[in-house]
Amino acid sequence: MSPLPAAPQLHDRFPYSAIVDRPPLRWPNGARVAVWVIPNIEHFLFDRPSSSIIQSTTGFVPDVLNYSWRDYGARVGIWRLMEVMERHGVKGTVALNSDVCEHYPRIIEGGQALGWEWMGHGTNNSTMINSQSEGEERELVTTVIETISGVTGTRPRGWLSPGLTESHRSLDVLAAAGIDYVANWVNDEQPYPMRVASGSMLSLPYSVELNDYTAFLEQGQSGEAFAQAIRDQFDVLYEDGLTTGRVMSICLHPFLIGHPHRSKHFDRALAHITSREDVWLATGSQIADWYRSSQPAG
């Protein structure tokens, strides 16, 4: 058996760029901040561990406690999240496991009625990207795109991998399949172009910090503390956006933010954001399209 090729120590996807050296970025109508909200709507396989609130049962098969806790998001939490976001005129850009189309079609129906955007998020949240063969990865991407396209009538343009996982070829595979923006790279407050073998690709700002998974499961924050972090993030970006436009992402999971004791605080955070002028409530594709149209040719 031949040894596996060594992983490169450096990537070649984009050059370093200091935000203070870039030309000013201007959003539509002079907005200082483009705000996009990303609900992660997911399906989990029953025979393996995944996101858990209680660790003592994660070795059980089945782990009914944690599985059913996650299932709350599809049955209850997403509907509360939809209501809160609609109240403030915020359209979601959904990171969608394509298995949701089969198992929870009512959620697709609800999102379609609200005019939400759908981007690829793997087939389910129990299957990661980085450990797959090239053939398996290409088949997975094709399956996700075709499934979402067939059910929603719109081909997804964006992609967020389960667990933000990638192989070294993922960006090339995604670009070849027609995906034109990804949210896996959490290193900026503005979009930026990425090098791919063919086609084009943008990285859109996503966050592991302004993310209810990190806040609630990793850091043990309360719903009130997470909402305050959202307000604090917005206030600073709003001031920074006077000089050059910024992107604020709010990254959510219905089985977390959808609980009443958390959603009430998220509601108030959105009220804070939408009370200000010069804010663009956008979807991923809207941000990508505006960025591309506003950049100098070449």
The CB-based long-range contact list for 203-206 (8 Å cut-off, 24+ gap) reads 203/14, 204/36, 204/158, 204/247, 204/249, 204/284, 204/287, 204/288, 205/247, 205/248, 205/249, 206/38, 206/160, 206/164, 206/249, 206/251
Task: Give yes or no for residue 4 having a pLDDT over 70.
Answer: no
Q: What is the mean pLDDT of the chain?
A: 96
150-159 pLDDT, tens digit per residue, is 999 999 999 9
Q: Which domain holds residue 223?
A: 27-294
Is 75 a member of any domain? yes
Task: Give yes or no for residue 2 having a pLDDT over 70.
Answer: no
Is 288 a member of any domain? yes
**Residue 7 pLDDT grade (very low, low, confident, very high; cuts 50, 70, 90):** confident
Is 5 a member of any domain? no
183-223 pLDDT, tens digit per residue, is 999 999 999 999 999 999 999 999 999 999 999 999 999 99
Is 1 a member of any domain? no
Tell me what pLDDT residue 298 has: 47
Is 285 a member of any domain? yes
Tell me what pLDDT residue 133 has: 94
DSSP letter (8 states) at residue 109? H
**Residue 6 pLDDT grade (very low, low, confident, very high; cuts 50, 70, 90):** confident
Instruction: Specify the higher pLDDT residue, 10 or 279.
Output: 279
Question: What percentage of the chain carries pLDDT values higher than 90?
Answer: 93
Is 84 a member of any domain? yes
213-267 pLDDT, tens digit per residue, is 999 999 999 999 999 999 999 999 999 999 999 999 999 999 999 999 999 999 9
Strand duo 181-182 + 158-159: pairing: parallel
- What is the enclosing helix (H) or strand (E) of 160? none
**Distance from C-alpha of 39 to C-alpha of 81, rounded to nearest angstrom:** 9
* Average pLDDT, integer, range 100-116: 98
Q: What is the pTM of this model?
A: 0.96
77-89 pLDDT, tens digit per residue, is 999 999 999 999 9
Is 17 a member of any domain? no
- What is the enclosing helix (H) or strand (E) of 162? none
Is 22 a member of any domain? no
Residue 104: give its domain's CATH number: 3.20.20.370
- Could you give the dihedral angle defined by the CA atoms of residues 111, 112, 116 and 117, in that order, rounded to the nearest 10 degrees? 120
Q: Which residue has the tokens 């997975």?
A: 140
- Domain count across the chain: 1
